[in-house]
Chain A
Amino acid sequence: MSLAPAEADDRRAAFLASPGRRAIAWLCAALLVAMMLITVADVVGRYLFNSPLPGATELTGLLLSAVIFVGLPAVCFDEEHVTVDLLVDRLPEVLARPRLLLVRLLSAAALAVISWRLFVQGQAMAGYGEQTVSLHLPVAPVAWFCAAMTAIAAAVTFATIFARPAPPAR
């Protein structure tokens, strides 16, 4: 998992040096803090003022979707997926490159298929006008957003084939 505490300081430096990372971090921060504040506003409003935040649960759900899929390309870029490297470390040198190539290709392909199906799912929901329960927000655009982020993740994963010989050291 991506806790990678040893490199915390290196990572901090890398993070501060990269404007792209900072931009995505701001987006992640906005989504997560919004999610947190919605719960706080709902609870405080309900408990102190007898008026809960309308649509708090459905907004939280949609934000959750966004957080997951915004974080995905970053995970793919840093290749921080959970893997079982029990045998991998003991593989003979000649097999190392082909294995990595195959794993990255299959992963990119899986992401591409998922992206396509998320898009189709969005199309279907737009077709019959799926909305959220109380605020009547359309749901399809969220699915399209998820599809787009997954497409980026697929592209990023595909690009690692050419960009690096091995995942960044952890």
Chain B
Amino acid sequence: DTTLNMANWLPPAHPLMKDVMVPYAEAIKEATDGRVTVNVLPAPLGPPAAHFDFAVNGVADITYGVQGYNPGRFKTTAFAELPFLGDSAEANSVGYWRVFDKTLRKAGEYDKVHVLAVFTHGPGQIFTKGRDLSTLDGVKGAKIRVGGGIVGDLVKGLGAVPVEGPSSKTYELLSSGVADGITFPFESVASFKLIPMVDSALVVPGGLFNTSFYVVMNKAKWDALSDEDKKAIDGVSGEALARRAGKMWDAADAAGKAAMEGKVKLVPASDTEMEGIKADLKPVIDAQMAEAAKAGIDVEAVRAAMHEEVEKAAKGE
């Protein structure tokens, strides 16, 4: 029998742990008839950004994390992070996994691990306090906290001032009033207890950005599994795991939205605003795609495939 250590950097009650990773661990045990069990470590072994290497080096057997925490390392993530991908995390995640499985993995960025899944968060939006978001002028000049990277560029593209900071700094930036707003999915605004600190949201159809996640396994540990166990684990991983995660984020977003009722005014971006947003963001997207092309990827084909697969997944195909 095999026991796999799963590294964990989130509190046990976080939905990604409680509703995705722990049930996934149970699903592995069930699918392998108890031959493979997963032991979730009680405390983090290091900062979130270290977790991909934990799987590469065998520090832990299964790890999960955010590609964006290792800037420069994962260029193919850009396709999942771009604006206007889709409104459902489930459809985005399933579509992303399919394109990853077929095309993106060939870029070789994940060659040192066995990939169990990639998926995305729900669509990210801009939340602000004390600003009128009915026109794009409301965003201009606002200090918006971003995690950095592409979201910073997107925010800058819209004429806002990106204030960088790690997610641990989010609460203090907003609660102290240093930042006027934030880019987050609905779920995170609620879970970081930021609802009292914002009053409006600019809701862009398809989202302004997404955050990409990975779940990976140490290669030697994977290779050491029997073919039967590999097949059993495959059955609960990949698209199944991406779907499980996407569903969780959708549910969490819905709960976040519900918690905002009466407290945060949701302002949908109008058609004219969307035109402005698309024009503003085009240079950012182009630059990002040029970067991804360096990874040896047919950028246009992959972008088309992403949209196609996300749409298919949204229709339940």
Judge A-B direct contact (beta carbons within 8 Å). Answer: yes
In contact, B72 and A131 (Cβ under 8 angstroms): yes
A residues 40-95 touching B (CB-CB < 8 Å): 46, 50-52, 54-58
Complex CA–CA separation, A54 to B163 (angstroms):
8
| Distance in Å: Cβ of A56 to nearest Cβ of chain B | 7
Q: Given A133-B149, A134-B148, A134-B152, verify A50-B73 contact (CB < 8 Å).
A: no
Give the residue name and chain of the B residue nearest to A49 (CB).
B161
In contact, B178 and A46 (Cβ under 8 angstroms): yes
In contact, B53 and A52 (Cβ under 8 angstroms): no
In contact, B147 and A130 (Cβ under 8 angstroms): no
Check B307 for interface membership: any CB of A closer than 8 A: no
A residues 89-135 touching B (CB-CB < 8 Å): 124, 128-134
- In the bound complex, residues from chain B placing their C-beta under 8 Å from that of A55 are 164
Q: Given A46-B178, A50-B161, A130-B70, verify A57-B53 contact (CB < 8 Å).
A: no
In contact, B178 and A130 (Cβ under 8 angstroms): no
Q: Given A51-B161, A55-B164, A57-B164, verify A132-B141 contact (CB < 8 Å).
A: no
- In the bound complex, residues from chain A placing their C-beta under 8 Å from that of B143 are 46, 50, 52
- In the bound complex, residues from chain B placing their C-beta under 8 Å from that of A51 are 161
Complex CA–CA separation, A23 to B188 (angstroms):
48
- In the bound complex, residues from chain B placing their C-beta under 8 Å from that of A138 are 72
Q: Given A46-B143, A46-B178, A50-B143, verify A130-B71 contact (CB < 8 Å).
A: yes
Report B165-192 CB contacts with A as 1/0, cut-off 8 Å: 1100100000000100000000000000
Q: Given A130-B72, A133-B71, verify A52-B161 contact (CB < 8 Å).
A: yes
In contact, B164 and A134 (Cβ under 8 angstroms): yes
B: residues with CB less than 8 A from A are 53, 70-73, 109, 141, 143, 147-149, 152, 161-166, 169, 178
Could you list 16 examples of A-B contacts with CB < 8 Å?
A50-B143, A50-B161, A52-B161, A52-B163, A54-B164, A57-B165, A58-B164, A124-B53, A128-B109, A129-B72, A130-B72, A131-B72, A133-B152, A134-B149, A134-B164, A138-B72
A: residues with CB less than 8 A from B are 46, 50-52, 54-58, 124, 128-134, 136, 138
